[in-house]
Every structure is written in C-alpha cells, then in structure tokens.
Amino acid sequence: MVIDASWLASHLDDENLVVIDSRGIMPFSFSHIKKAIPMDVKNVISTDENGSYLVIAPHVAEQIFTDLGIDDTKLVIIYGEYPDPSLARIVWTLIYYGHKNVKILDIGFENWLQSGYPVTKDFRSKNARSKSDRGFIARIQATERADAQFINEEKDKPEITIIDARTPQEHFQARIPGSILHNYEEGIGETGKMIKDVETLKQDFEKIGIAQDKQIICYCHSGIRAAHTYLQLKQAGFANVRLYDGSIIDWAKHKYPLR
C-alpha cells in the first residue's frame, strides 16, 4: 500500500503514473509534487440525507477518475500532509471500484519538501489534461465495504471483528457494541511517515487481539479516519477488511444500538 519517496522522485516522468495531491487546492497552489493533480476528499464522498459520508455512485466515480487520467493501466500514487488521514478515503474509493494499482506516498508533503525532492507551482488545468483513452470503469468490490444492515446482522458472530478508529473519548462516549478501540493515529509512523512499517503494525494489532483470520470492519465518525485504519490493516497483510463508510453518523441515524 505504500511507495517510497525516492522511487517516486525517480519515476515522475513515467507515462503510466498518476499522482494525486489530497491536501486541498490552496496548499497545492503554493507548491506540489511535479505532475500532481489536486483532489479534495470531498470529491469522493456523497453526503446522504442523514448527513452520512457515503461512497460516490459508480457513474460519478467513472467521470471523476477518467478526468484524472486513470484507467486500469495506471499506477496511482496519492499523497497528503502528515498526519491527515484524508488521502486514505481516496485510496479506498479507488480500491472499492476495482483499481488495484494504487499506493500512498510513504511521507507527508512537508517531509518530501524537507528531503529536497522536486516540487513545482506549475499546474495543468482540467481542460489541459488528457482524459484516459480507455476510461475508468467502476467494478464494485463488495467485500471492501460494509453498511449498517450488514454490521447489525453480523456483529455478534465470532468471526467478525469491528474496529473503532476514533479517539478513546469518542469510543467511550458512544460506540458500536462489541467494537475494539484502535485510534487511527496509532498506525501513523514517526518523523512524517504516513503509516508504520509492516512488522510494527502486525505487532500493534496482535496486542489488541485482532487476528488475521477474522472479517474486520473499520469505522469512525464519518469514515475518513477509519479508511486510514483500513489501509494500515491491508499494509499489515490482513486480507478480509471492510470500511464502514457511513460510520457512526450513519449507524446512529439508523437507530441501531450504541454502547
């Protein structure tokens, strides 16, 4: 799930590479990685009538990602600012719609800058960019997502583990029954590393009783921090991981039980 900064710096001219900057248009306009395209996390969120942050519709995903030049031949690398988890929701959206070749940059942009890697202010506007000739095709990967009904029906089964990626204060105030607390910040590395190394992640999850053979579901308040925990689990080698994109907002609106 993670790609090394030195690798990216030496491959910025690769034709099959799409680089996405998740920091927002203002910091992007001051400075960004060469070839990067700005994308706000809001672009991959559909806010429903209950205020839940749900995944965008397939046709919307196809339009957005095709406009970014993404198709199934492209390696997509997404970077952000340490320790903002927003980039993870963009990554998850691509995975949910079937794009397997997507990575996050191992360091935040400030660390990229401090390391002396190349930056620019140049920007190709949307009209100046080439759309993908092949186009992005949304292929829903249903096993990457959980909704409220699925969790309510499955939560008491022994093969299910539900992880709350919020803070301890939020967890103890109101949580999905049976969920295990693992603040997403626990999986972020030091000195600007966007995610801990594989072995450390494995040890951290093992300490709180998260087993490789379980079906794991991650949630938080609105599905952004939980998306980062989802990536941490994937990075650590967990195969059966789902994101509850609606998270606690959606759960509460459905009036399912809280502890």
pLDDT band at 131 (very low <50, low <70, confident <90, very high): low
pLDDT of residue 226: 98
Query: Is domain 142-253 in CATH 3.40.50.261, yes or no?
Result: no
Q: Is the pLDDT of residue 7 over 80?
A: yes
2-128 and 142-253 agree in CATH topology: yes
Residue 129 above 70 pLDDT?
Answer: no
- 130 pLDDT above the threshold of 80: no
SS (HEC) of the chain: CEECHHHHHHCCCCCCEEEEECCCHHHHHHCEECCCEECCHHHHEEECCCCCEEECCHHHHHHHHHHCCCCCCCEEEEECCCCCCHHHHHHHHHHHCCCCCEEEECECHHHHHHCCCCEECCCCCHHHCCCCCCCCCCCCCHHHECCHHHHHHHCCCCCEEEEECCCHHHHHHCCCCCCEECCHHHHCCCCCECCCCHHHHHHHHHHCCCCCCCEEEEECCCCCHHHHHHHHHHHCCCCCEEECCCHHHHHHHCCCCCC
pLDDT band, residue 123 (cuts 50/70/90) = confident
Domain ranges of the chain: 2-128, 142-253
pLDDT tens for 52-75 read 999 999 999 999 999 999 999 999
> What number is the average pLDDT over the span 239-247?
97
- Kindly report, residue by residue over 186-196, the tens digit of the pLDDT: 999 998 999 99
State residue 207's pLDDT score: 95
User: Hey, what CATH topology would domain 2-128 get?
Assistant: Oxidized Rhodanese; domain 1 (3.40.250)
Q: Identify the pLDDT of residue 128.
A: 47
Q: How far apart are CA 140 and CA 147, in angstroms?
A: 14
**pLDDT in the model for residue 126:** 60
Residue 230 pLDDT > 60: yes
Q: Per residue in 200-223, pLDDT tens?
A: 999 999 999 999 999 999 999 999
Q: Are 47 and 113 in contact (CB under 8 A)?
A: no
Q: Is the pLDDT of residue 105 over 60?
A: yes
Mean pLDDT of 245-252: 97
